[in-house]
Structure 1
Amino acid sequence: MSIYQKYGLKQIINASGKMTALGGSAVDTKVAQAMFEAAQDYVDIQELMLKAGRIIAEITTAEDACPTVGAAAGIAISIAALIAGKNLTLIEQLPYSEGLRNEVIIQKGHSINFGASILQMIRLGGGKVVEVGQTNYVEKNHIIDAISEKTVAIFYVKSHHAVQKGMLSLPEIIEIGEENNIPIIVDAAAEEDIQKYIQMGADLVIYSGGKAIEGPTSGFICGKKELIEACRLQYKGIGRAMKVGKEQIMGLISALEIYKNKVENIEKQLQQVQWIVNQFQNIDGITASVVQDEAGRTIYRAQLKFDEEKLNISTHEIIKQLERGEPAIFTRNHYANLGIISIDPRPLLPGQEKIIVNRIKEILRV
């Protein structure tokens, strides 16, 4: 029995991915041990923040870094740092930023909801959002035309949630930023490559510690030294409501130390999803296939497309029954309106793929 069942919470099989709604990641024993030891002792938090920043910077190849309580907090803190800088009076004034250089340009297809509105995270930091282009189409001139003397940043979202077609690429956005001396912030919360965007020339890059990195609920901002110094100072302002604890910081560092040496076994991942797909071959009403992550990451999932008329059940009803079962099974349901669910093998514990397959077949009576 896990600690959650001890307190009457339902057992979960996570086939959805490293999702905040399901608790992010299940951490390595070494990460849990680091958090356990950190919780039982004292430390100078300012010294810890600086030391952690140097460690994170080395791993990400950035000039400096700042731990956060999560990627969403990283967005608000990054925006606040660019608006208020190191001016304590302005730091204490935020999120009220009237009269300051506070406009943040974002492509309309990047105005996503990741469980909350990304635009709200920008506003929490004092940013005034300037959306450009259309949901599925943005040109360079849309960005150029939106730049004014009040533009403080261009915000780029690298996520499967964002529109993948018709948007300007990050290299194009960085080029615009360099030509106009405007900082580029990249939200790379769930991205696996923690060096790529810094090396491309982004000024600030934000990551979640609890997704690809498989750490605790945490995150970090990495980037230019001067900007990161301003990010740390925001803990005297809006960041105080988002402060990150010693346990989270040590867990994050431990997870990053493991992650930098991790070799992802893509072949094993493919074998696992192919096995799942094979269990549904030749079943009338189900089309099963192996698909790659929408945002181009080296993540492969088993995708099941249901013919609702032939199966005489809606996809939403299948999902509902999976989640109401014992254990409750959570699949990836971004395309449920199209009759599609996906199974992400990464969070699965040994043998859980068999439970999922049997439960779906039981629901469908096939």
Structure 2
Amino acid sequence: MTLSTSSQQPLALPADLPALDKVLHKPELTPAINQHGLTLVTQQLRLLLAQLRTRVLQQQLTTADVDPAYIIAQLIERLNALTASKLKTVINLTGTVLHTNLGRALLPDCAVEAVTQVLTQPTNLEFDLASGKRGDRDSLIEELICELTGAEAATVVNNNAAAVLLMLNALASQKEVIVSRGELVEIGGSFRIPDIMSSAGSKLVEVGTTNRTHYADYDRAINEHTAMLMKVHCSNYAVVGFTKETDLSELVKLGQQHQVPVTVDLGSGTLVDLAQWGLPHEPTVKEIVDAGVDLVTFSGDKLLGGPQAGFIVGRKSLIEIIKKHPLKRALRVGKLTMAALESVLSLYRSPELLPERLTTLRLLTRPQAEIQQQAERLQSSLQLAVGGDYQVSCAPMHSQIGSGAMPIESLPSFGLVVHYAGSDKAGRQIMQLERWLRNQSQPIIGRIHKNAIYLDCRCLTAQQASLLQETWSATRL
């Protein structure tokens, strides 16, 4: 707390501190009590008065600093900070469409409406309306998932890591799972495939090398303890050059020959061929299922464009075992996720309408010219806000799909680049600007590259652009 007046004011004495009840009964505090409740206001006021008393005893405050009106102002500021939501909406100008740290896929309007509806009313989440008996929540979307993927059966849990964990624990606990060394990936947060294997009680058997794994490597590793042949889609990196991986059809034949299930952790969750919209081809779930794989796991909040979820689809007999496992209940999803999933999955029944209805696909296919126009409209207002020490220019740039999808692919985009034009060290000044953007009432998240801030406008909505123009026109760094 800073002094409210100059040091010419007399120093406050402990007796100058107002009593708690006196402050509580001030009419200026009534709106705060109505908003936050008497209990919280009293608690925070007591803490504030205790801190003020300590500073008074240390002769750090004047009489003006312990005036009831000034104390109430400090209290209201404290209450607002305390009760403000820690989960804030941000403006994503990073250029990464599916940004793990920013919540990945944005839900389309239909999913938001579906979630809102089940938030306020009872639902048949686990109630079979036909029989009047307890139902299975998976049944709400299982038929739809199977229709879109060609799988015999399906189940859903809270994310793809959970799907892999459940699959391994249910089918390969205390048994061996064969995986190529080149597919022992680490995903965000230092979460690694070997760690999931260990947590599931499975024994990892590595075959091949980092860049080359042959059919014979799998064949030699199979024995009476083998529970599964597993392939992991390397969705967050790529090995190029002198490489070799066993074709999936060969691996399926090998699994059938030894009666060992073949599973694929696909990760990204693509349900349609993205190449039809000019995007790079990514293996679809249906392609993997049609190849004869026994089980496929994938995410709901990546290229699928839905809420956080993990799917396991494939052979019905294996899905039934998985659904009966105790971990399934611990990892199941709630009614909000189910409502959003059903709504998003339903969009895939009309694939020709996906670019306009599915938010993720709309952002991925947004024309560069449209993004450029948006950046150019914002350039002058940002220049005004940052002042003459910085130079703001419009420039072409490349967006990323993100979140473990197409790691080496990029999308032509456009945005603003801010360089420091002053005489001080550029790096320090750019960091200061980045903090300023990040600390706005609605945080603005860009990326720093070579002592410049890049603000990619691919994910910027029209409403957000208007807000930025208004904010930058009225504020100064």
TM-score over 0.5 for the pair? yes
**Hey, what does 1:183 align to over in structure 2?**
261
- Equivalent residue for 1:268, pick from 350, 363, 366: 366
Match of 1:208 in 2: 299
Aligned partner of 2:122 in structure 1 is 41
- Does structure 1 retain, via aligned residues, the 8 Å contact 2:347–2:354? no
CA-CA distance at 1:12 after TM superposition = 0.8
Q: Is 2:91 aligned against 1:13?
A: yes
Q: Tell me the residue number matched to 2:442.
A: 327
Aligned to 1:118: 192
1:68-100 Cα deviation digits (max 9, x unpaired): 1111111112222322xxxxxxxxxxxxx33xx
Say which is worse superposed, 70-79 or 202-211, in terms of deviation. Answer: 202-211
Q: Which has the higher contact order (CA 8 A, sep 6+)?
A: 1
Q: Once structures 1 and 2 are overlaid, which stretch shifts more, 185-194 or 269-278?
A: 269-278
Change (3 A) 1:150 1:340: farther
In structure 2, do the counterparts of structure 1 residues 226 and 257 end up closer, same or farther at CA, with 3 Å as the change threshold? Answer: same
Shift in CA distance, 230/23, structure 1 to aligned 2, threshold 3 Å:
same
Q: Normalised by the size of structure 2, how large is the TM-score?
A: 0.57
Distance 1:357 1:190, change over 3 A: farther
| Structure 2 Cα separation of the partners of residues 127 and 337 of structure 1 | 44
What residue ranges of structure 1 are gaps of 5+ in the alignment?
A: 84-96, 360-364
- Distance in 1 (alpha carbons) for counterparts of 2:207 and 2:160: 23
Closer, same or farther: CA 277–34 of 1 in aligned 2, 3 Å: closer
Task: Quote the offset at 1:315 in angstroms.
Answer: 12
Taking the aligned partners of 2:178 and 2:457, their CA distance within structure 1 comes to: 34
Change (3 A) 1:277 1:157: farther
Partners in 1 of 2:218 and 2:392 — Cα distance? 49
Report if the CA contact (8 A) 1:331-1:344 is conserved. Answer: no
1:30 aligns with 2:110: yes
Question: Unaligned stretches of 5+ in structure 2?
Answer: 1-82, 128-134, 272-284, 356-361, 380-390, 472-476
In the other structure, the counterpart of 1:69 is 158
User: Hey, what's the Cα distance between the residues in 1 that align with 2:101 and 2:255?
Assistant: 39
Query: Which letter does structure 1 place at the counterpart of 2:318?
Result: L
RMSD (Å) for aligned C-alpha atoms:
4.3
Q: Distance in 2 between matches of 1:188 and 1:128?
A: 21
CA–CA separation in structure 1 for the residues paired with 2:265 and 2:91: 28
Question: In the alignment, residue 253 of structure 1 is paired with which amino acid?
Answer: E
5 Å matches for 1:61-210? 61-83=150-172, 97-98=173-174, 101-119=175-193, 120-135=195-210, 137-140=211-214, 141-165=216-240, 168-169=244-245, 172-181=247-256, 182-193=260-271, 194-210=285-301
Instruction: Check 1:209–1:320 CA distance in 2 against 1; reply closer, same or farther (3 A cut).
Output: same
State the structure with more CA Rg.
Answer: 2
Spell out, residue by residue over 1:248-282, the C-alpha distance to the aligned partner (whole angstroms, 9 max, x if none). Answer: 122211111024424335653444456689999xx
SS in 2 for 1:155: strand
Deviations 1:34-53 (A, max 9, x none): 22333421432643313421
Aligned pair count?
A: 333
Equivalent residue number for residue 131 of structure 2: none
TM norm structure 1: 0.71
Letter matched to residue 266 of structure 2: A
> Counterpart of 1:350?
462
Matches within 5 A, 1:247-266: 247-261=336-350, 262-264=353-355
Residues 10 and 138 (structure 1 numbering): CA distance in 2 closer, same or farther, change over 3 Å?
same
Q: Percent identity?
A: 22
Report the secondary structure of 1:198's partner residue: helix
Q: Which residue of 1 aligns with 2:427?
A: 313
- For 1:52, the equivalent position in structure 2 comes to 141
